[in-house]
Chains A and B, each alone.
Chain A
Amino acid sequence: MIEIAHLHKRFGKFAALQDISLSIMCGKVTGIIGPNGSGKTTLIKSILGLVHPTSGTLSVNGFLLNGDAAYRRWIGYMPQLARFPQDLKGWEILKMIKRLRGEQPSLEKELIELFQLRPELDKRMRALSGGNRQKLSIVISCMYDPDLLIFDEPTAGLDPVSATRLKDFIQSLKQKGKTVIMASHIMSDIEELADDVILLLDGRIRFTGSIRDLKLRTGQPFLERAIVEILEENAS
């Protein structure tokens, strides 16, 4: 479980996150949604320890984040931009991650087959398409079958077949009781995969709860319209 209490993050004068307090439950898919610049990526990066909070506390599975990197063993992260050293091959990058983790991944082969990545692993990164780099990023994030998976815009840049396979894979993670956090602008993906949503606007939480509750509260049958209504409420 992830516990966040009174989290603030400022970049100079800009308040990226303001007084964020929430709990993300185990075994659920939680979607983080909001307009550009609302603080989605900053919130994800705070959980990953990439961004240092200005104030407030975060804990993952009871482990208070204080600069120690050990808790990241439980986490798989797929970033928004999949960029790798240009002159290395896919298998070399996988090898380096395996050496850093110091153990053999349980899902590596399965994921490589699922995303048909094998012929691409012998190519240098500069020769790989954006979609294939994204697939490599999926393999890196999921191959250790971690308890917590964090995806930032996971289907952006993927072809429809791969996007569907990824969504099916996320569904299977949910069935296995994994905790998944995904930030996305694609509301159909959120509606299809997420149990709960966290709606951010200007660094503040505007809604947190299940998609059903969000629709009930706004009286809107579709997630996208429900979100627009809440955003307009806050703008007025």
Chain B
Amino acid sequence: MKHTLQIGLFSLRDVSRNMWVLIYTAFFALVTIGLFQFQGHSGKVTVSIMSICLILIPLVSVLFGTMHFYNLREFIELMLTQPVKRRTVFIGMYLGIATALVSGFLIGVGIPLLLFGLGNQPQIISLLILLLIGSILTLIFLAVSFLIAAYFDDRGKGIASALAFWLVTALLYDGLVLFIATAFSEYPLEKLLLILSMANPIDLARVTLLVQSDIAALMGYTGAVFNRFFGTASGVTIAVLSLFVWVAAPLTFGLTRFRRKDF
């Protein structure tokens, strides 16, 4: 555990100096300040930030994680020639990069929230949940990036797979769900749609936010189904638990692959 934390702190120090992480933080800060300035204290700010987060966080996390892993390949080899276990290196790196990306997001959105959003209490709760969900999304897509990079030796295939995963989960999946809902509208589809929602972390994140903010109708069919089926408290609990499964599963498979990998 001590070595895991040491590698984590080392990775955090490295990644927190990375130009793209600084740009990522600054972007969130500028967008959040801009939205507060232009939309005032209305609930629209939460919806706008949520829409941006659901697209941008997965994209940046999965791409940054994959590319960073490939960039550090020779250094990972060097760490693995030290008397440390592979699990220690893998989890340590994950914790370090995750802390840097989550901090970037929390600082970028959180500081403007403290400065401009304190006047509207219901909105603050929604935004705090947004911060939580954004952080979990970072953990999920970073875990997926580590799985991809551990699986593919070829950098091109790895980056293409990362982009494909984002494309499917962020853009194509809801279209598929909508198509199924429309094509089979005469059948009872609630359970199927709930299962489909859990199979996509971005949908799950959206559902969790929607159930909380009670604006399900604006953000897609699956959100509405979740809201009606579960009600607020149990819906959030199940969705958040499912999100944590989405963190643990790719991380576990990635670690298994990493331990067997030839460098």
Contact = CB atoms under 8 A, between A and B. Distances in A.
A132 to B, nearest CB: 16
Contact of A100 (B14, B17, B74, B84): B84
B80 interface: yes
B83 A72 contact: yes
| Residue with the greatest number of chain B CB neighbours at <10 A, chosen from A50, A51, A79, A101 | A50
B14 A85 contact: yes
Interface residues of B, number: 28
Contact of B14 (A49, A75, A87): A87
Contacts of A88: 10, 13-14, 17
Q: B6, B18, B81, B84 — which one has the most chain A CB atoms within 10 A of its CB?
A: B81
Contacts of B263: 45, 50-51
Interface string A50-88: 111000000000000001011111010101011111111
A48 B81 contact: yes
A142 interface: no
Given A45-B263, A51-B262, A81 B81 contact: no
A126 to B, nearest CB: 10
Given A50-B262, A96-B10, A100-B3, A83 B75 contact: yes
Contacts of A52: 260, 262
B74 A81 contact: yes
B77 interface: yes
Given A69-B85, A87-B18, A100-B82, A79 B262 contact: no
B72 interface: yes
Contacts of A48: 80-81
A72 B17 contact: no
A92 interface: yes
Contacts, number: 75
Given A88-B13, A88-B14, A96 B6 contact: yes
B81 A50 contact: yes
Interface in B191-210: none
Contacts of B74: 79, 81-83
B3 A79 contact: no
Given A11-B262, A77-B78, A69 B84 contact: yes
Interface in B209-239: none
Contacts of B262: 11, 45, 50-52
B79 interface: yes
A140 interface: yes
A48 B80 CA distance: 9
Nearest to A72: B83
Most buried by B among A71, A75, A86: A86
A146 to B, nearest CB: 11
Contacts of B80: 48-50, 69
Contacts of B75: 83-85
Contact of A86 (B10, B13, B71, B82): B71
Contacts of B83: 69-73, 100-101
Contacts of B84: 69, 100
A176 interface: no
Contacts of B71: 86
Given A50-B263, A99-B6, A100-B3, A85 B72 contact: yes
Interface in A16-36: none
Contact of B79 (A83, A100, A137): A100
B82 A87 contact: no
Interface of A: 11, 45, 48-52, 67, 69-73, 75, 77, 79, 81-88, 92, 96-97, 99-101, 137, 140
11 contacts: A45-B262, A48-B80, A49-B81, A69-B80, A72-B83, A75-B81, A84-B75, A87-B17, A92-B13, A99-B6, A100-B82
Given A45-B263, A79-B78, A100-B79, 18 more contacts: A11-B262, A49-B80, A50-B80, A50-B262, A51-B262, A69-B84, A71-B83, A77-B81, A81-B74, A83-B73, A83-B75, A85-B75, A87-B17, A88-B14, A88-B17, A99-B6, A100-B7, A140-B78
Going nearest first, the 4 A-B pairs with the smallest beta carbon separation are: A87-B17, A83-B74, A50-B263, A85-B14
